Amino acid sequence: MAAGVKLLRFAGGFVCGAAVSTASCVAALRLHRAEPEEPRAPSPDTVSEVQQLIGRFGLPETGAEVRCYANHTLSYDQSKRTPRWVAEHLTNQKLQGQADRKHCRFRADPDIPACFSAGNDDYLGSGWSRGHMAPAGDNKQSERSMAETFYLSNIVPQNYENNAGFWNRLEMYCRELTQRFQDVWVVSGPLALPAEKDDGTRTVSYQVIGKDSVAVPTHLFKAVLVQSSNTTDQSAAPVQALGAFIVPNRPIGFERKLRDFQVSLSELEGVSGLTLFPKLPRGGGGGGDGPGGVADLCELDGCQLMGYKEFTLYLTGRKVGGARSLAKLEQLMAELRRQGIEPDDYLNKLYLKKKEQLTNQEPPQGTAGAG
């Protein structure tokens, strides 16, 4: 009979063991019923009625639902007037195209209520640039997808030098990864991290700008997942690697390496409050505590950002392409040489092509302003 009682308690009193007699089973039921009963949970109907009453006039909404655009997805933070996170999927083919950012303008996202949206006036004179989380450079495939990256729902207040420098080079590295991996997933966003005072206390403090009090992040994050088919064994699982990075929202010089800002996936998840790439199996890999079977991106690929000379040539090339006068064109090339950098073949060809174009556009000397 003791065996029957043990089974009944384990089964919550609903099953009798086949090894005991009917009489023993009845006795066991009596013994079980003699014990104090646990409080009964409310029935589903009761819960439903209570919850319906609580939500009679609706429950608070955060606006953090997933929002989908032509080539990026995001969750918006209505209180900070910035995205919580922005996700992208990159391939080499998707990065091709002729869309030009000169046709795009920063503007409020038409799907964000005006009372929760940042405005361009918030950034004007603030000392902070409008920093893309999904970069315009990832969206040359269509004018629409590029224009949508200029919605202020995709923008955070970012240090100008960081935006144009280190963060720009990190974005370029993500695009470069598509040359070595078939698929690249990127999740980016702002962070407000605590700082420690002299007395050891830690506080979270961040600036806000404009009449809409747009939150200035102390840091930015980027999580990068790459994948390629196994070229040596087609039946094997694809090669995957992941890197997570937290970057201070301040100027960062060329002497700093991307690895200086690498963190574990769990550390990034802990400070952001986000579970990143949740469909990846967990338990080892990815830097030691990330998804199982996923390599460390920096161990696999090196995480080398573009160096000073190469990056300066790249920026000069962009400026040469946008030059509107011969004087500006020559100024750009002279400035490059003053930095001790000689133009490479690509830049020389771009310069000559632009010079010819501007020469044909400008009126002959002595005729300007005639009439």
Residue ranges for the known binding site for Mg(2+) are: 163
Amino acid at site 207: Q
Enumerate the known binding-site residues: 163
| Cα separation, 72 vs 41, whole angstroms | 44
| Cα separation, 180 vs 178, whole angstroms | 5
Note if 132 is an active site residue.
Answer: yes
Catalytic, out of 72, 103, 132, 219: 132
What is the DSSP secondary structure assignment for residue 277, as one 8-state letter?
S
Using the Cα atoms of residue 335, residue 339, residue 340 and residue 341 in order, give the sign of their dihedral. Answer: negative
Which helix or strand (DSSP H or E) is residue 219 part of? Answer: strand 219-228
What is the DSSP secondary structure assignment for residue 217, as one 8-state letter?
P
DSSP 21-47: -HHHHHHHHHHHHHSPPPPPPPPHHHH
Ramachandran angles phi, psi of 141, nearest 5°: -70, -25
Task: Provide the H-helix boundaries in 207-325.
Answer: 265-272, 297-301, 308-322
What is the DSSP secondary structure assignment for residue 363, as one 8-state letter?
P
| Cα separation, 349 vs 313, whole angstroms | 13
Residues acting as catalytic residues: 132
